[in-house]
Structure 1
Amino acid sequence: MTYQMSLALDLSFSHHQGRWRLPGSWAGYNFPDLRMYKELALAAERGCMDMIFFGDGTGIPSTYGDSIDAAVRWGIGAPRQDMSPYIAALAQETSHIGFGLTYSSTFLPPFYVARLLNSLDHITGGRMAFNIVTSSRGADAANFGFDELMDHDARYRRMEEFVEVCTALWRSVGADAYLWDRETGQVADASKVAPIDHVGEFFTVKGPLNSVPSPQQAPVLIQAGGSPRGIQASSRFADVIFGGAFKNEHRAEHRKALDAALVESGRDPEKVGILWDLQIIVGQTAEEAQARKNQLQGLLPREAAAAQMSHNSGLDFAKLPDRFTLAELTEEVIAKNASPVTFRDLIAEHGADHEMTKDELIDSAWRTATGYDHTVAGSAEQVADYLEESYEASGSRGGFMIAHPQVTPRDLIDVVGLLIPELQRRGRFRTAYEGSTLRETLGVPRFE
C-alpha cells in the first residue's frame, strides 16, 4: 500500500540568517508585511499543503559576548512578531490550509493560551494547531522575569501540567452546551459547563472556560521534544510530533523510541505521525538546485553563526577554550539547563569523546546556521526520491515540515510547482482537501 505523506511549511525563520537578500526573495517587501504572508498562504493552499507553521522566540539572542549586538546586526533569531493576528487575517484569505502557532508553557498561563486558541480556532473555522514548547534560551527567560532557566525536567513537568489544564478547559464546556434557544431565552445547558478545579505543582485554575466550544474543540497539539524526557512527554498528549533529526538512521531511532513511549502511555503509535524538519531546494535540474544551494555559503559571517549557536546552547562561543570534547560541551549545556540535544548530531557523527577546536565548532555552527549542511537540493524527481526513502525509513507516518525556505517566495513556488506535482503523480500526496478542519486534513483523531 502507498501511504500519503503530510507536508507543512515552516515560516519561523523565512527572513532570518540572510535569506531576505538572496535572488528570488521579495523586492519591495520587508518583514513583517502582511502581503508577503498572504502570497505564501495562497501558494501553499494551491499546493494542498497541510499547514503553515510559525515557531517563535521572545528574546533577542544575547549569550554571545553577553550582548545582543551580533544578533541584531545580522538578523539572528530576530525580529519576530506574535503571529496570532496574522493568522486571523490569513484565515480570511484561505479556506483549507491549517495554521500552527507556538507558545511557551514555561512562561505563559494556560487559561490565557487555551482561551486564545479557542478564539483562533473559531476564526479559522477549525484550522488551528498549537505547538507547545519548553523554553531553553536565557534571552526568552529574561523577558518573563527569570534570572536563570528553569530546570530541564521541571520544564517538562510544567509543560505536562500546562497541557493537562488546557485540555481540561477545552473539555469544561460540552460541544453541545450552547443552545441559543430563541423560544425560552436559554443560552446554554448549565449541566454541560463545569469548573475544572485544578490544583497542581505549577498551576491553580478554577475554570471553566468562558467561551463557546470551537469547531475542533481543541487545536491539534504539536510537540518537538527530542531528548528521552521530551519523547516521554510528547507521547502522552501530542497529536503530531515535530522531529529534528536530519539522517534516516536517527529518524528511525526517534520513531522507535516514540512508538515504545506511546505504547507505554496507552496510545496507538499508528495514529501519531512525525513531521520531520527538512530544508530543500528544488530546481528544474540538479545542477540548478546545487548552484542555488551554493549561494547559502555567502549568507552569514562567522560572528552571526556563533551568536546563533551561543543562543541555542547557552554557551558563550566568544569565551570557549581553544580545545574541548563534545561531552564536555554537553555537560556545560546541561548545567545551564539549556537543551541537552544541542550537539546531538555532532556527537552522532563523531562520538561524545571527539575533541574539537573552537574554530572547528564555529565552522560547524556556520554550516547549521546557513542550512548548508542539511539542505537537500535536486530536481523534483531527486527530492521526491529522497522524501519517499526517508518517509518509509521512519515508519510511513507523518511527513515533512519544509523548514525555513532559503528564498521566499521562490522556494515555495518551486515546491508547489515542481515537487508537489511529482509527489502527486506517485500517489504520495493529496490532489485535493477532503476535510474542513486541520484534524481531518492531518488524519488526527477527533478531540473527545
Structure 2
Amino acid sequence: MAKPRMHLAFDFSYTHMGGRWRLPGAWPGRTFPDVAMYEDVARIAERGLLDMLFSGDGTGVPDTWRGSRDAAIEWGMNWPRQDLNPIMVAMSRVTKHVGYGLTYSSTFMHPYYTARLMNSLDHVTGGRIAMNLVTSTRRSDAANFGFDALMEHGARYDRMEEFTDVCRKLWDATEADAMLWDHATGRVGDPAKVRGMSHHGRFFKVEGPLNTPPSPQGRPVLIQAGGSPRGIRASAYVADHVFGADMALPSQVKQRHALDQALTDLGRDPASVGILWQTPIVVRETEREALAQKERLLTAVPAEAVGVYLSYNAGYDFSSLPERFSLAELQAEIVASHASPVGFVHVLSQKLGAETTITRNEFFEHGVREATSYDTTIAGSTTQMADLLQRKFEATGSRGGFMFGHIVSLPADLVAIVDLLVPELQRRGAFRTAYRYRTLRENLLDS
C-alpha cells in the first residue's frame, strides 16, 4: 500500500507587512494590493500543485501598544489589510485547480450572510473555496463591530459552534439537484428539494433557507485553528481540516492526539480530519543560501514595531511592562483580560519555565524573533527541508500536511518552494504529481 501523501498550502497573510515587502525578492516593482501580483502568486502555486492559497485577516488597526494606532501605521504592522474576497476571486479566474481559503470571524459576523457569501464564492471558484473561522481576540476589531469589550474565551467558542450549526443547516437545506433550469417547462427549481430551516439559539435566530443554488462542494470547506483545550474541542466540532500552530514537534504530536480524542468523542473519524501545520520555511539549493535568506528577517522591523505586533496579537499592552516580572504573573494578567491564553507569553513560558523572571529588554529580545517568525522559520537545502517535513508528517499521524507562510520574500520564496522543494517531495512519493479532482474538498481528502 502506498504511503499517505502530504498536502501543501501557502499562507500569504503577512507577505506585505512587517517589513517583508522591502526585503530582497519581494514585491518587485509593485505595492499592496496590486491584484496582478496576487494573480502571479496564484499561477505559481498552481504550477506547484499546491492544495490551497490562504489568508488570515483582521478588521481593526492595531492600537493596543500605548493605546495608539500610530506605530502600527508607521511600520506596517498588521496594517494595511483589506478583505481578500475580491482578490481571491481574481486569483481563481487565472487558475483551475488550486483552492482558496478566506478568514472570517464568528465572533462578529452573522452566519446567514457568511453562509450565503461562501456559497456564492464556491460557485465563482468552481468548488474551490474554504472558510477559516476565527474567534477574535483583538479589542480594535471588536470596537469596529460595536462591542465594548471582548467576549469571554469560552463564550467565543460557544458562539463559533452555534455559528457553524447555522451555516451547515443553511447549506444543507437545498439539495444538490434542486436546480432544474428546464427550458421546456420554465421550471427553475424543485420546491421539494429546498427545505425550510429554523434556528433559535443562544446567539442567533435564523429562519432560512438560503436563496442561492447549492454549493458545488455540498458545503464550502471549513478550517479552524483552536489550540487551547477548548479550542481543540471546537476544532473537532467545526473543522473539515485544522490549521495547526508552528510549535515544537512534541507539542504538535500532543495536539494531534488531543484532536483525535475530541473527534472520537463526537463520533467523527480522526482519519478524515487533517492538520495543516503552519510552517515558516526558506528553501534554497544550499543550506548556506537558505540561512542567509532567513537572517534578513531580523532586519525587517525596528523595536517599536515588535511591541506593536506582540501587543496586538495578545490583546495586551506590553508597553506597560515593569523592568522585571515573572512570566506566570504576566500570563495570569493576560488570561484575566480575556485575551488569548495560548499566545506568545504562553509559548515563552513553556520555553523558559512559567516561574521564570525576566527583564523587559529580555522579553523584547525574544519578541523580535516572534514578530518575524525567526525562531520558528526552518531553513535549509532542498534535501534537508524534504527530510524534515517527512519526519514531521509521519510523527503527527500522516494526516494533513503543511501551511507554508511567514516567508521572507514573496514571490521569491514561493518560487523556491515550487521549483525546488515540490519536485523533491514528488520524487519521494510524498506529494501529488497532478491534481486528480475538481473541488478543494476532494483534493484535500486525496491521499
The question of a shared fold, defined as TM-score above 0.5 by the shorter chain, is answered with yes
Q: Which runs of 5+ in 1 are unaligned?
A: none
Q: CA deviation at 1:444?
A: 7.2
Listed one character per residue, the Cα deviations across residues 148-201 of structure 1 (whole Å, up to 9, x for unaligned) are 101111110100000000000001111111212222222211121122110000
Asked if 2 retains the 8 angstrom alpha-carbon contact of 1:277 and 1:402, the reply is yes
What residue in structure 1 maps to residue 199 of structure 2? Answer: 198
Distance in 2 of aligned mates of 1:363 and 1:279: 20
What residue in structure 1 maps to residue 272 of structure 2? Answer: 271
Listed one character per residue, the Cα deviations across residues 290-322 of structure 1 (whole Å, up to 9, x for unaligned) are 111111111111110111101111221111122
Asked if 2 retains the 8 angstrom alpha-carbon contact of 1:194 and 1:207, the reply is no
Asked if 2 retains the 8 angstrom alpha-carbon contact of 1:239 and 1:444, the reply is no
Determine which of 399, 402, 423 is the counterpart of 1:400: 402
Asked if 1 retains the 8 angstrom alpha-carbon contact of 2:316 and 2:339, the reply is no
Distance in 2 of aligned mates of 1:430 and 1:344: 37
What residue in structure 1 maps to residue 227 of structure 2? Answer: 226
Q: CA deviation at 1:246?
A: 2.0
Asked if 1 retains the 8 angstrom alpha-carbon contact of 2:247 and 2:376, the reply is yes
What residue in structure 2 maps to residue 415 of structure 1? Answer: 417
* Aligned: 1:318 with 2:306: no
Distance in 2 of aligned mates of 1:88 and 1:18: 26
Distance in 1 of aligned mates of 2:87 and 2:16: 16
The one-letter amino acid of 1:396's match is S
What residue in structure 1 maps to residue 74 of structure 2? Answer: 73
Larger mean CA deviation between 271-280 and 339-348 belongs to 339-348
The one-letter amino acid of 1:172's match is A
Distance in 1 of aligned mates of 2:324 and 2:418: 45
What number of residue pairs does the alignment pair up?
445
The one-letter amino acid of 2:374's match is Y
The one-letter amino acid of 1:372's match is Y
Distance in 1 of aligned mates of 2:184 and 2:373: 62
The one-letter amino acid of 2:136's match is S
Q: CA deviation at 1:344?
A: 2.8
What residue in structure 2 maps to residue 134 of structure 1? Answer: 135
The SS at the match of 2:280 is strand
Distance in 2 of aligned mates of 1:378 and 1:193: 54
TM-score, normalization: structure 2? 0.98
The SS at the match of 1:185 is coil
Larger mean CA deviation between 221-230 and 82-91 belongs to 82-91
Superposed counterparts of 1:380-399, under 5 Å: 380-399=382-401
The SS at the match of 2:430 is coil
Asked if 2 retains the 8 angstrom alpha-carbon contact of 1:246 and 1:278, the reply is no
Q: Which runs of 5+ in 2 are unaligned?
A: none
What residue in structure 2 maps to residue 294 of structure 1? Answer: 295
Asked if 1 retains the 8 angstrom alpha-carbon contact of 2:286 and 2:381, the reply is yes
What residue in structure 2 maps to residue 181 of structure 1? Answer: 182
What residue in structure 2 maps to residue 18 of structure 1? Answer: 19
The SS at the match of 2:116 is helix
The SS at the match of 1:183 is coil
Q: CA deviation at 1:334?
A: 1.2
Give the direction of change, closer, same or farther, for the CA distance of 1:444–1:228 in structure 2 (3 Å limit): farther
Asked if 2 retains the 8 angstrom alpha-carbon contact of 1:118 and 1:217, the reply is no
Q: CA deviation at 1:431?
A: 0.8
Asked if 1 retains the 8 angstrom alpha-carbon contact of 2:246 and 2:279, the reply is no
The SS at the match of 1:378 is strand
Determine which of 428, 437, 440 is the counterpart of 2:439: 437
* Aligned: 1:340 with 2:331: no
The SS at the match of 1:101 is strand
Distance in 2 of aligned mates of 1:269 and 1:84: 31
Distance in 1 of aligned mates of 2:263 and 2:94: 37
The SS at the match of 2:311 is helix
The SS at the match of 1:102 is strand
* Aligned: 1:46 with 2:37: no
Q: CA deviation at 1:410?
A: 0.3
Listed one character per residue, the Cα deviations across residues 68-88 of structure 1 (whole Å, up to 9, x for unaligned) are 011111111010110111111
The SS at the match of 1:373 is coil
The one-letter amino acid of 1:258's match is L
Superposed counterparts of 1:201-212, under 5 Å: 201-212=202-213
The one-letter amino acid of 2:383's match is E
What residue in structure 2 maps to residue 109 of structure 1? Answer: 110
The SS at the match of 1:395 is coil
What residue in structure 1 maps to residue 125 of structure 2? Answer: 124
Q: CA deviation at 1:30?
A: 0.2
* Aligned: 1:426 with 2:434: no
Superposed counterparts of 1:328-367, under 5 Å: 328-342=329-343, 343-367=345-369
What is the Cα-based RMSD across aligned positions, in Å? 1.2
Distance in 1 of aligned mates of 2:241 and 2:264: 15
The SS at the match of 1:132 is strand
Structure 1 stretches of 4+ moved >4 Å: none
Q: Report % sequence identity.
A: 54
Asked if 1 retains the 8 angstrom alpha-carbon contact of 2:176 and 2:218, the reply is yes
Asked if 1 retains the 8 angstrom alpha-carbon contact of 2:246 and 2:376, the reply is no
Distance in 2 of aligned mates of 1:168 and 1:411: 41
Distance in 2 of aligned mates of 1:420 and 1:88: 25
The SS at the match of 1:114 is helix
